[in-house]
Chain A
Amino acid sequence: MTDTVKNRNHLRHQRNHLSGGLSGMFSGAVRWISLIGILAAVVIVVPGNPVLASQIRIVTTTSDLADIAGAIAGDLADITALSQGNEDPHFLQAKPGFIIQARNADLWISIGMELEIGWEPAVIHGSRNPRIQVGRPGYLDVSANVLKRGVPTRRVTRDMGDVHPSGNPHYWLDPWNGRVIAETVADRLSMLFPDRKDVFHSNLKRFKDELDRRMFGAALTESVDGDILWKHQFSGTLDAFIQEQSLPAAGGWYADTAPLRGVKMVTFHKSWEYFTGRFGMSVVAELEPKPGVPPTAAHLSHVENLMSANDLTIILQEPFYSRRAADRVARNTGATVVVAAGSVSGTPEATDYFSIFDLLIAALTNQQ
């Protein structure tokens, strides 16, 4: 072993010795040339970047948007999500790394409704990217057409806590809104890159078909158009419609949540009302006394009384909230704490947008 090392060193030494004179003479010049070379490479690469990258560069504020945008853009785009599902999207830092991601983006996609208000403006401003400034086609707030809940019906003041004047921003937890987001993204991409419009729209169709299949089951979606099923789901007439038309039984999330219909629960933050509202459940109280205000002992006692009086057995929360408050309430009321991903990558199993609902419904069904 030592011999081999010695031999190798010896060989290297010999080679150094042989080339010593030549490299000694030129090493100074070589160093300068390589330095100039590196600088030149930087200069060439800098303006060349947009040309080199033939892919569409999309930056999204959340992992859910990245997943949906990925389904629409397919391999035409390089997509970066600035936050992962295990982070609270309200409280992100405008890191320089985010600014670098935004620097060359063709399209910036955000949830909007003030969810990212504390950091998004600083990233967009810092990026100096004219394409993605608010109001430009490269800036897409996907909340425009979604179904909104929690829109204040009276004048809002900050005495009410972190209330968003345009409504509750956690709307991606309604699969209908996932569908709307996909449509919005496809439309914007088609506008920005008209030559690839067909790809985006066929991807959109595939995404909607898959979402509808997950929602209503394969048998039903093969017999009836998804839009019609959603229309009946909205008006609460889906079961009657299926019976009337002698259609195959519903499957998917719709059928899976049948046993959960009418269930009332408590959640940590006011972030689940889109999900519960879509599937016939409801949220009676939050552990937060006001949105954005951490639980207090007095409020938790109030929640405990409410839960005991109404026989509520479920406390639902995202993984990034501390379990302490929920565990206390659970201990005093006998309820169960369900920790579920509210976003893609919130838990290791939450690998895509559809899996959020799969996991959530499975976890809640297990508690019933």
Chain B
Amino acid sequence: MKKGILFFLCFCLPISTVFAETASQTPLEALQAGYQSFNPDISVIIDTFYHGDNSHDGLNHLFEEMTGFGHAHDHDDHGHHHGVDEGFNLRHLEIMFSAAVDPWFRATAIAAVDIHGAEIEEAHIETTGLPMGLRVKAGKFFSDFGYINAVHAHEWDFVDQPLVFQLLTGDHGINDLGVQVSWLPSLPVYCLFGVELFQGNNEILFDYHGHGYLPEKSGPRAVIGWVKFAPNLPGFHGLLLGGAYGTGTHQEQHGPSGDYNHWLDGDTSFWSVNAVYKYNAPKPYGQGNLTIQGEYFRRKKDITLVRHYNRPELEGNPRIEEQDGYYIQFVYGFKPRWRAGLRWEQVGLTNSITRPTGVKSDYDSSYRLGAMVDFTPSEFSRLRLQANLGQYETDHGSEDVFELKMQWMISMGAHGAHTF
């Protein structure tokens, strides 16, 4: 973390001296000189919020106890746990650098610093000069499957991630080391195809241990393919539809309090569909804008019991878990700079586990309703109030939870462009 700050200061100090020294030049010259000296666009995002809820043992605990979605296994070799604390939270300090590297490549590096330390949120290189609408991207990046997965937390329309993705892809979504090839063919309508090969590290979807009883598998261990389609709607209307499929190695180790006694190896596959409609009102300050967005995601975990200390007779039998979920949300600019949003979510429409014993159990689904109001004083700041009301099916019965969140976030530095 100290290194990160040092790195940041090294970049910023020269910039501030440029501004100070050139005060006697014409401002335009000064700025041009400044822009030339700091080639990468730099921006810093601070995203802080208050969270309160009336759950028995905290929301993080509740999510882990949700029937069919819980991940009771221990994450012994994975990063720190995110989740929210009751009270004040600093989601993270995001430090972003991006620039055209040369006439052929563009790069983005995003460091996320929080009170637990620093991590690389994204560090990727992509091509800018390939013909025929092709692009290759490599490094660590968010998968472009679906819609919200690649959207950074500070650009979400609600404080929290949709439940289905929080439960099935984890706090970070699918963000991994890998390579992506995407193709925008020369068609009269927008049709974008992408294939991604990932190392296969996702705490929930593609968990990998590769030692002990779990076989070692070299990467890439996950592959995702997606397509996005946008019919040409006239004027202020925009629509984007998408579909995705992915599959990858998944391993689990379980046991009482970190003392593993059984191991499973296999894979998880998923498919998803999504749609986003936006009405971009001609009025300024976002008034009259409407966004309707929804995604459905379904995973199938197909893993085999490779070793069980207590039940060796079950070894070789499969464990199959099928879970799904969706969210749909509406956000409307009801006044200049003010938006209101409503989100409805359900997880576990399909929620079944077939255990190595051959017993198949079906579980109930959980629901959550969220409402938010936010105020955007400028392109660079936003304040938000959000309330969630959820009914969650857990291993100990159903629990109703009310949540209240107040968020304040700002961005300093370069003005980012918004993708659709």
For residue A194, which residues in chain B have a CB less than 8 angstroms away from its CB? none
For residue B190, which residues in chain A have a CB less than 8 angstroms away from its CB? 96-97, 99-100
Is A256's beta carbon under 8 Å from chain B? no
Known A128-B134, A128-B184, A166-B31; contact A97-B233, beta-carbon cutoff 8 A: yes
Closest A residue to B128 by CB, please name it: A133
Query: Looking at the complex, which one of A122, A128, A134 makes contact with B418 (CB distance below 8 Å)?
Result: A122
Question: Binary interface profile of B, 61-78, with partner A (CB < 8 Å = 1, else 0)?
Answer: 000000000000000000
B238 touches A118 (CB 8 A): no
For residue A88, which residues in chain B have a CB less than 8 angstroms away from its CB? 282-284
In the bound complex, how far is the Cα of B380 from the Cα of A266, in angstroms?
28
Known A104-B186, A118-B417, A294-B337; contact A92-B379, beta-carbon cutoff 8 A: no
For residue B129, which residues in chain A have a CB less than 8 angstroms away from its CB? 130, 133
Is A236's beta carbon under 8 Å from chain B? no
Known A46-B187, A158-B378; contact A93-B284, beta-carbon cutoff 8 A: no
Known A97-B232, A97-B233, A117-B417; contact A49-B186, beta-carbon cutoff 8 A: yes
Consensus secondary structure, chain A interface? loop
B19 touches A93 (CB 8 A): no
Is B79's beta carbon under 8 Å from chain A? no
Query: Looking at the complex, which one of A104, A118, A129, A151 makes contact with B379 (CB distance below 8 Å)?
Result: A118
For residue B417, which residues in chain A have a CB less than 8 angstroms away from its CB? 94, 117-122, 125
In the bound complex, how far is the Cα of B85 from the Cα of A59, in angstroms?
49
In the bound complex, how far is the Cα of B233 from the Cα of A119, in angstroms?
18
Known A91-B286, A93-B238, A128-B135; contact A151-B378, beta-carbon cutoff 8 A: no
For residue B87, which residues in chain A have a CB less than 8 angstroms away from its CB? none
For residue B258, which residues in chain A have a CB less than 8 angstroms away from its CB? none
For residue B132, which residues in chain A have a CB less than 8 angstroms away from its CB? 46-47
Closest B residue to A318 by CB, please name it: B284
A122 touches B284 (CB 8 A): no
In the bound complex, how far is the Cα of B278 from the Cα of A119, in angstroms?
15
A97 touches B238 (CB 8 A): yes
Shortest distance between the CB of A171 and any CB in chain B (Å): 14
B27 touches A152 (CB 8 A): yes
For residue A78, which residues in chain B have a CB less than 8 angstroms away from its CB? none
For residue B359, which residues in chain A have a CB less than 8 angstroms away from its CB? none
Closest A residue to B235 by CB, please name it: A84
The interface centre, meaning the residue of B278, B283, B380 with most chain A CB atoms within 10 A of its CB, is B283
Number of residues from A at the complex interface, CB < 8 A: 56
For residue A119, which residues in chain B have a CB less than 8 angstroms away from its CB? 417-418
For residue A42, which residues in chain B have a CB less than 8 angstroms away from its CB? 187
A100 touches B188 (CB 8 A): yes
Shortest distance between the CB of A54 and any CB in chain B (Å): 16
Question: Binary interface profile of A, 102-143, with partner B (CB < 8 Å = 1, else 0)?
Answer: 011000000000100111111001111110011100000000
For residue A302, which residues in chain B have a CB less than 8 angstroms away from its CB? none
For residue B100, which residues in chain A have a CB less than 8 angstroms away from its CB? 133-135
Which bucket holds chain B's interface residue count? 35 or more
For residue A151, which residues in chain B have a CB less than 8 angstroms away from its CB? 26-28
Query: Looking at the complex, which one of A46, A91, A99 makes contact with B185 (CB distance below 8 Å)?
Result: A46
In the bound complex, how far is the Cα of B187 from the Cα of A104, in angstroms?
10
Question: Binary interface profile of A, 289-329, with partner B (CB < 8 Å = 1, else 0)?
Answer: 00011100000000000000000000000001110000000
Is B166's beta carbon under 8 Å from chain A? no
A96 touches B186 (CB 8 A): no
Question: Binary interface profile of B, 169-191, with partner A (CB < 8 Å = 1, else 0)?
Answer: 00000000000000011111110
For residue A100, which residues in chain B have a CB less than 8 angstroms away from its CB? 187-190, 230, 232
Is B285's beta carbon under 8 Å from chain A? yes
A94 touches B130 (CB 8 A): no
In the bound complex, how far is the Cα of B218 from the Cα of A291, in angstroms?
55
Known A93-B280, A134-B100, A165-B31; contact A294-B285, beta-carbon cutoff 8 A: yes
For residue B214, which residues in chain A have a CB less than 8 angstroms away from its CB? none
For residue B287, which residues in chain A have a CB less than 8 angstroms away from its CB? 322
Q: Which of B255-294 contact A (CB under 8 A)?
A: 278, 280, 282-287
Question: Binary interface profile of B, 82-115, with partner A (CB < 8 Å = 1, else 0)?
Answer: 0000000000000000001001001000000000
Closest A residue to B237 by CB, please name it: A95
Shortest distance between the CB of B299 and any CB in chain A (Å): 27
A155 touches B285 (CB 8 A): no
The interface centre, meaning the residue of A94, A125, A128 with most chain B CB atoms within 10 A of its CB, is A128
Shortest distance between the CB of A287 and any CB in chain B (Å): 12
For residue B185, which residues in chain A have a CB less than 8 angstroms away from its CB? 46
Is B7's beta carbon under 8 Å from chain A? no
Is A257's beta carbon under 8 Å from chain B? no
Shortest distance between the CB of A16 and any CB in chain B (Å): 34
Question: Binary interface profile of A, 16-38, with partner B (CB < 8 Å = 1, else 0)?
Answer: 00000000000000000000000
Known A94-B420, A100-B190, A119-B418; contact A155-B379, beta-carbon cutoff 8 A: no
Shortest distance between the CB of A95 and any CB in chain B (Å): 4
Is A349's beta carbon under 8 Å from chain B? no
Question: Binary interface profile of B, 1-29, with partner A (CB < 8 Å = 1, else 0)?
Answer: 00000000000000000010001001110
For residue B282, which residues in chain A have a CB less than 8 angstroms away from its CB? 86-88, 320
Known A87-B282, A155-B19, A162-B379; contact A93-B186, beta-carbon cutoff 8 A: no
Shortest distance between the CB of B285 and any CB in chain A (Å): 5
Is B131's beta carbon under 8 Å from chain A? yes
Closest B residue to A156 by CB, please name it: B27
B415 touches A118 (CB 8 A): yes
Known A100-B189, A130-B131, A293-B378; contact A93-B232, beta-carbon cutoff 8 A: no
Is A153's beta carbon under 8 Å from chain B? yes
Is A90's beta carbon under 8 Å from chain B? yes
Is B240's beta carbon under 8 Å from chain A? yes
For residue B280, which residues in chain A have a CB less than 8 angstroms away from its CB? 91-93, 95
Question: Binary interface profile of A, 274-294, with partner B (CB < 8 Å = 1, else 0)?
Answer: 000000000000000000111
Closest A residue to B335 by CB, please name it: A294
Is B336's beta carbon under 8 Å from chain A? yes
Q: Top 3 closest A-B pairs, CB basis?
A: A96-B230, A96-B190, A121-B417
User: Could you list 16 further interchain pairs (A-B, Cβ under 8 angstroms) beyond the known A46-B186, A95-B420, A128-B184?
Assistant: A86-B282, A93-B278, A95-B278, A96-B190, A103-B184, A119-B417, A122-B417, A125-B128, A127-B184, A128-B130, A151-B26, A154-B27, A165-B27, A166-B28, A294-B337, A322-B336
A-B contact pairs, 29 of them (CB 8 A): A91-B284, A93-B278, A94-B419, A95-B278, A96-B190, A97-B190, A97-B230, A99-B184, A103-B186, A104-B186, A114-B415, A122-B420, A125-B106, A125-B417, A128-B130, A128-B133, A128-B184, A133-B100, A135-B100, A135-B103, A151-B26, A152-B27, A153-B27, A156-B27, A166-B28, A166-B31, A292-B285, A292-B378, A322-B283
